[in-house]
Amino acid sequence: MIHFILLFSRQGKLRLQKWYTTLPDKEKKKIVREIVQIVLARHQKTSSFVDWKDLKLVYKRYASLYFCCAIEDQDNELLTLEVVHRYVELLDRYFGNVCELDIIFNFEKAYFILDEFIIGGEVQDTSKRSAVKAIEDSDMLQETVEEYMNKPAF
Amino acid sequence: MPAVSKGDGMRGLAVFISDIRNCKSKEAEIKRINKELANIRSKFKGDKALDGYSKKKYVCKLLFIFLLGHDIDFGHMEAVNLLSSNRYTEKQIGYLFISVLVNSNSELIRLINNAIKNDLASRNPTFMGLALHCIANVGSREMAEAFAGEIPKILVAGDTMDSVKQSAALCLLRLYRTSPDLVPMGDWTSRVVHLLNDQHLGVVTAATSLITTLAQKNPEEFKTSVSLAVSRLSRIVTSASTDLQDYTYYFVPAPWLSVKLLRLLQCYPPPEDPAVRGRLTECLETILNKAQEPPKSKKVQHSNAKNAVLFEAISLIIHHDSEPNLLVRACNQLGQFLQHRETNLRYLALESMCTLASSEFSHEAVKTHIETVINALKTERDVSVRQRAVDLLYAMCDRSNAQQIVAEMLNYLETADYSIREEIVLKVAILAEKYAVDYTWYVDTILNLIRIAGDYVSEEVWYRVIQIVINRDDVQGYAAKTVFEALQAPACHENLVKVGGYILGEFGNLIAGDPRSSPLIQFNLLHSKFHLCSVPTRALLLSTYIKFVNLFPEIKTTIQDVLRSDSQLKNADVELQQRAVEYLRLSTIASTDILATVLEEMPPFPERESSILAKLKKKKGPGTVTDLEEIKKERSSDMNGSAEPASVNASAVSTPSPSADLLGLGAAPLTNSAPPPSSSGSLLVDVFSDSASAVAPLAPGSDDNFASPDLASSEVVSEEPADTVHDADELFHKFVCKNNGVLFENQLLQIGLKSEFRQNLGRMFIFYGNKTSTQFLNFTPTVICSDDLQPSLNLQTKPVDPTVDGGAQVQQVVNIECVSDFMEAPILNIQFSPKQEVQNIFKAKHPMDAEITKAKIIGFGSALLEEVDPNPANFVGAGIIHTKTTQIGCLLRLEPNLQAQMYRLTLRTSKEAVSQRLCELLSEQF
C-alpha cells in the first residue's frame, strides 16, 4: 500500500500531502522535511526509487512539481510511477492543462480527485472516466464569471 | 487569478490564497494569517447565523492555513455542521476538514460518526462515497468500532452501486489494517471472494486488494480465491489490447488489476489443481513472451505498465520456485534488463535477481551475470542502483566466487557512499567468515575492512574476528603475526588496536620467538598507541598487559612500572584506575601458577549465530536477509556452522555470557573474579573505606585465658587508638589448631602468619600486605610482651622496612623462646601512616548540626558528595586546589560521633603537606 503521497515544488514548497497511515502532526512535518530534501538532492538521470527507512520512495517530476509516493517493499515500483501519472492525467482532465497554480488555488479539488482514485493507500479505480465523473457530477452547476465576481472577496 | 472554476467557486478563498502568495516575508504571511483567523473566529462567534456557502468557505480557509503548517484549534464544530448539509460541495468540504484534522475529541467523534451513519444510510451513492472515504482516511479505532460491522454488509449487498462497493472494499481494508480484531470474519467473506468474478473491473480491482490482505492472515478461508484469480488473470492476459476499454492503460490491459491478482497469488503455493496450475503457467509464459514483442507505443507509460506486470509475474515465479523453466526464463529476462538504458529497469532487475539468486534452480543462472553486476557497482551513477548491486553480489555469493566478490566489495568500499558503508562492512564480514576456506584469508579480509573503513566496523565485527581466532588454533599464529605487522603503521584505526591488543594478549607468545617481535617490542608497540586511544580501548590494553605478565615474565617489571605510573594508578577514569590497581596487585602477589590460571588462554566461544548477521538483519529489516541465509545454509555446509564443543573450562577470567558483550568489555572489568577483591563502589569510598569500620567499638584485649606454650597471641592496633579490629579475636582462635593462615585483614592491610615450632623454640613469619595502591610510611610493627609475660616468653623481632609499597608485602621474622607456661598473649602493635593521608580526631567545638557542617564544607570550597559514604552520617567532600604550577586534588571525610561529641577528620590530597595543612585548618572549624 501507499503510505503517503507528497506534492512539492522545486523550491521545496509542499503543495499537497496525503497520509494513509496515522501519524502525529509533528512526525509528519519531520518526514516531509526529510523527504523533500532527499528527493531534491537527487540528480537527474538517476532511478526514480530511493530506499527510505522501511519504505521505498517512488517519485517523478512534472514541470515544476515533484510527485512522491512512499510504498512498501513488496509494492510494485513501476506501477506506482503510473499511479502518479494517472493522477496527473486526472488533474489534467479536470483542470484542463493542469499547472502548479491550479493545485494551489484549488487544493480541495486536488484532494477530492485523489480520494476518488486512491482510498486507504490502494488504487480504487483506474478508469479515468469513473474517477473524474464523481467530481464532475458535483460540478454540474456551472457558474458564470459574473456570478463568481459577485461573490464577496473575503 | 485562476480560471474561474467549475461548480461553486469560492472567491474569498482565492483572494486569500493570492494574498498569502503575495506576502514578501514569513512575518507578513503570519500577520495576514492571524488577521484571517481573527476574522473567521468573529464570523463563527457572531450572532448572525452563517449560510452554508460562508461556512464552507471559512472552513476551507482554515484547512488551507493548516496545510501551510499552522496550528488550527477551532472550526471543528462548523466542519461537523457542514457534514449534515444537503449540498454536496458543503458536505465534501466538511468531510475533507475532518479527514485532515482528525480530533480525538470524543464529543466530536460521536457527532461525526452520527453524520457518517446518516450518509451511509442515505442510499445516495455520492454521499455514501464521501462517508466511506472519511472512514478510510481517519481509520481510527473509534470508527472501526462504529462501522466495522456495517461496511461488510454494504460491500456484499446485491443492490449496492459499483462505485460504493469499491469504496466499501478499500474502506474495510483500511479498518482491517488498523484494527483487525474489530473486523469480524463471517458469511460475507465467501461473497467477497466472488467479487473477483464481478463484471465491473473497478470492483474487481478494489476487491482484490482487500482479499489479498485478508488472505495473508487467513489463507484457508480465502483459498478459493486462487482459481478465480487465475481465470481472471488469464482473461486479461489473453485479451486484445482494446478489449478492456477504459481499463486498458497505454495499450496494456488492466495493469493494476493484473499486478494485484499476481500479488494475491503470491499468498499461496502453486495451485494444486493441475488445470488451474496449467492455466497459470500459460499466463506467466504469455507475460514473458510479451516482453519480447516490440512495444506497441514508445511512451514510457506503456513500457512501465508492461514491465510492472512482468516484474510482478517474475516475483510470483520466484515465490513458487517450482518451475525451473520459468525461473531460467525469468533470469534471462532480468539479465537483459541489467544492461537496459533505463536506470529504473536496471535497478529493478538487480532487485529481482536478489531473490532469484536464492532459488536452487536459478542460482547458477544468476551467477553468470557477475561481471555485469560488478560493473554496475563501479559505474552506476545512482547510489540506489549501486546499493542493489551490493545486495545482489551478496546474494549470489557462494564458495566459488566468494574471493572475487569480497575483493570487489572491499574495492568499492574505498569510495562507497557513506550511507551504505556500514552495511557493506557487515556483508563483507559475513561473507568472509562464511566462505573462508582458509582462515588466513578471513583474517586478512577483516583487517583490510578495518583499514579501509575502520569507522564503520561495528563492535560485532571485531568481536567476531576475535571469537574465530580464539576458536581456531590453526590461525592464531598467523593472526598474531598479521596484527603485529598491521600495528606497525604509524596511524592505525583504533579498532585495529583493539583487535591487535586482544590477539597479542592471547597469542603474542606464538610470535615472540622472532627477535623482531620479541615480548618487549610487542609491548612497546601496543603501548605506543595507548595514549591515543579511548577509555574502552585503554581498558582492553591494560588487560593485554596483565596477560603479557603471564606470557612473558621477562617484561613483568616493565609492565609493572607502567601500571604503577601516576597516569594509571591515579587515572581520572574509575575503570582504568581500578584495572591498573588490580592488575598491578595481581602481578605482585600472585604466584606464577596462579597467574597462569587466572590469565589462561580464553576458552573457545560457544558457537552461535554470528552477531554480525543479527545486526545486518536488524539493519535490513526481517525478511530479506533471513530468507537468503536459510537457503544458503542448506546449500553449503557451513564451515563455522558445525559447532565446536562449547567449553566448560571456565577460567578465572570472566567467561563471557552468551549475551551481547562478547569480550566482557562492557562495564564489568575483565578480571572480575581475579584475586583482589574489587570494591566496585565509588572512588572516594574506596580510598577511605578502611575507616568505615571505625565506628565499631574498641576491640577487647585478649581476655581469654589461653595457655599455649608455643603460640604468640596477637592483637592488632593500628595507629589510631580508636581504630580497631573487631574480628581479630575470631581469627586468633584459628591458630589454636594450625600454624598458618590469615591473622587479620581489613581494607588496608592483610596480616598473615606462618610459624614453625620445635620443642621450646619457635619461629614465626609475619607477612604484612599493603592492600592499597599507595605506600605505607613509617611502617613499624612491634611485638610487645607485657611485664607479666616477659619472664615466661622471650621474643626477638627483626625490624622491617618502614615503607611498604602499594600492593607490596613485607615479611617480619619473630624468634620465640618459651621459658615457662603463660596465659596472656603478646600484643602486636602496628603503626603506619598511609601516604598523603592525614587524620585528626578532635572534640566538637560547635554544636554538631549536620546542615551547618554541610554548609561549612561547601563554604570551604569543596563539593559535598552525598551518598558515597556507606554511613549516611558521614560527610564526604572533594575539590581541587589550583595553583599556577600544579593542581592538587583533595578528598576529605568528616565522621561525627555524636555520643562522644567527637569528630574524625581525614584529608587526602596528592601532596602530603597540603593534607597536613588542610587538616589543621579544618580541625578548628567543627
The predicted pLDDT at position B26 comes to 92
The secondary structure element, H or E, covering residue A14 is: strand A14-19
- For residue A77, the chain B residues in CB contact (below 8 A) are 308, 344, 348
Taking the C-alpha atoms of residue B630 and residue B635, their distance in angstroms, rounded to an integer, is 9
> Which three three-digit cell numbers place residue B906?
581525614
Give the integer Cα–Cα distance in Å for B101 and B74: 10
* A contact residues 18-77, partner B, Cβ 8 Å cutoff: 20, 22, 29, 43, 45-51, 54, 73-74, 76-77
At B717, which amino acid appears?
V
pLDDT of residue B105: 61
Work out the average pLDDT over B231-256.
88
More confident residue, B782 or B542: B542
Q: How many angstroms away from the CA of A115 is the closest CA of chain B?
A: 7
For chain A, positions 84-123, list CB contacts with chain B under 8 A.
Answer: 85-86, 96, 101-102, 104-109, 111-112, 115, 119-123
Q: For B735-793, what is each residue's pLDDT tens digit?
A: 788 787 888 877 778 888 888 888 888 888 888 888 776 777 778 888 888 888 888 88
Residue B376's pLDDT is 92
- CA-to-CA dists, residue A139 to A136, B239, B522, B597, angstroms: 5, 36, 86, 90
- Which residues of chain B make contact with A45, given a CB cutoff of 8 A? 343, 381-382
Give the residue carrying C-alpha cell 472515504.
B133
Contacts of A81 in chain B (CB under 8 A): 304, 344
Handedness of CA A6, A7, A13, A15 (dihedral sign): negative
Sorted by sequence, the CB contacts under 8 Å of residue B98 that are 6+ apart come out as B76, B79, B80, B83, B112, B134, B138
Residue A110: closest C-alpha in chain B: B96
Q: Assess: ipTM above 0.90.
A: yes
What is the per-residue pLDDT for B528?
Answer: 94
Name the pairing type of β-strands B875-882 and B863-864.
antiparallel
C-alpha cell, B233:
488473470
- Is the Cβ pair A154, B39 closer than 8 Å? yes
Interchain CB distance below 8 Å, A153 and B15: yes
**Cell match 484571517: residue?**
B36
For residues B323 and B283, the answer to whether their CB atoms sit within 8 Å is: no
Q: How does DSSP assign B256-316, residue by residue?
A: HHHHHHHHHHTTS-S-SSHHHHHHHHHHHHHHHHHHHSPPS--SHHHHHHHHHHHHHHHHH
Q: Which residues of B777-793 are buried (b: 16+ CB within 10 A; e: fewer)?
A: eebebebebeeebeebb
CB contact under 8 A, A109 and B201: no
CA B470 to chain centre: 24
- In chain A, the residue whose alpha carbon lies closest to the alpha carbon of B175 is A120
Instruction: Give the pLDDT mean for B119-137.
Output: 92
Q: What is the pLDDT of residues B224-234, one digit of tens each?
A: 999 999 999 99
Å between B465 CA and nearest CA of chain A: 29
Least confident range from B157-161, B209-213, B350-354, B783-787: namely: B783-787
Predicted pLDDT of residue B925: 87
Residues of A in contact with B178 (CB under 8 A): 22
User: Which of A19, A105, A112, A140 is most worth mutating to test chain B (most B CB atoms within 10 A of its CB)?
Assistant: A105
What is the average pLDDT score of chain B? 83
Q: Does A146 touch chain B (CB under 8 A)?
A: no
CB < 8 Å to B301, chain A: 82, 85
Place of cell 464529543: B107
Are the beta carbons of B892 and B918 closer than 8 angstroms? yes
Query: Residue A93 in contact with residue B5, Cβ under 8 Å?
Result: no
| Per-residue pLDDT tens digits for B622-634 | 444 433 444 343 3
For range B655-676, the mean pLDDT: 34
Q: Is there a contact between B865 and B926 (Cβ–Cβ < 8 Å)?
A: no
Amino acid at A149: M
Least confident of A101-115, B28-42, B97-111, B563-577: B97-111
* Architecture of the B837-924 domain: 2-Layer Sandwich (3.30)
Boundaries of every domain in chain B: 518-603, 729-834, 837-924
Reported as a pLDDT band with limits 50, 70 and 90, residue B593 is confident
β-strands B749-758, B740-745: how paired?
antiparallel
- Give me the pLDDT at residue B743, please: 82
The full DSSP string for B502-556 is: HHHHHHGGGGTTSGGG-HHHHHHHHHHHHTTS-HHHHHHHHHHHHHHHHH-GGGH
Closest CA to B533 of B498, B489, B508, B578: B498
Tell me the per-residue pLDDT of B635-659, one tens digit each, with 9 for 90 and over.
Answer: 333 334 333 333 333 333 333 333 3
Chain A positions in Cβ-Cβ contact with residue B291 (cut-off 8 Å)? none
Q: Has residue B906 got a pLDDT over 70?
A: yes
Residues B423, B390: Cα–Cα separation, whole Å? 9
List chain B residues with CB under 8 Å of A127: 201-202, 246-247
User: Using one digit for the tens of pLDDT, what is the confidence trace for A114-126?
Assistant: 999 999 999 998 8
Domains B729-834 and B837-924 share a fold: no
Nearest CB among B10, B139, B246 relative to A128 is that of: B246
Judge whether B598 and B653 are in contact, CB under 8 Å.
yes
User: Pairing mode, if any, of strands B740-745 and B716-717?
Assistant: unpaired
Question: Vertex B879, ends B874 and B881: CA angle to 5°?
Answer: 140
- Nearest chain B residue to A45 by CA distance is B343
C-alpha cell, B201: 473491473
Q: pLDDT for B393-416, tens place per residue?
A: 999 999 999 999 999 999 999 888
**Mean pLDDT of the B687-698 span:** 32
Interface test with A, best of B1, B5, B422 (most A CBs within 10 A): B5
Average pLDDT of the residues in B108-117: 91
The DSSP 8-state label assigned to residue B246 in this structure reads G
Contact between chains at A125 and B163 (C-beta distance less than 8 A): yes
With contacts defined as CB-CB under 8 Å, which chain B residues touch A106? 2, 5
Q: Taking CB atoms and an 8 Å limit, are B308 and A79 in contact across chains? A: yes
Residues of chain A with pLDDT under 70: 130-131, 134-135, 137-145
Q: Do A115 and B137 touch (CB under 8 A)?
A: yes
Residue B2 above 60 pLDDT?
no
State the nearest Cα–Cα gap between A102 and chain B, in angstroms: 7
Q: What is the pLDDT of residue B103?
A: 60
pLDDT at B621 over 60: no
Pick the CATH number of B729-834 from 3.40.50.920, 3.40.50.2300, 2.60.40.1230, 3.40.50.620: 2.60.40.1230
Whether residue B712 has pLDDT greater than 60: no
| Inter-chain residue contact A79 with B259, CB threshold 8 Å | yes
Cβ distance B206 to A124 less than 8 Å, yes or no, reads yes
Whole-angstrom distance, CA of residue B583 vs CA of residue B674 = 9
* Per-residue pLDDT at B420: 84
Residues of B within 8 A of A82 (CB-CB) are: 249, 255, 301, 304-305, 308
Residue B529 has pLDDT above 70, yes or no: yes
Q: Residue B630 has which C-alpha cell?
A: 536459510
The reply to whether residue A47 touches residue B344, judged by beta carbons under 8 angstroms, is: yes
Alpha helices in B397-507 (DSSP H): 402-413, 418-434, 439-453, 459-471, 476-486, 494-507
Q: Mark yes or no for CB contact A143/B308 under 8 Å.
A: no
Interchain contact, A78 vs B17, CB within 8 Å: no
Q: Which residue ranges of B are tagged as binding site?
A: 11-12, 43, 53, 57-61
Checking if the pLDDT of B290 tops 80, the result is yes
- Work out the pLDDT band at B7, boundaries 50, 70, 90: low
Do A124 and B202 make contact, defined as CB atoms within 8 angstroms? Answer: yes
Report the residue from B102, B255, B387 with minimal CB separation from A82: B255
- The model carries a pTM of 0.68
A120 with B170: Cβ contact below 8 A: yes
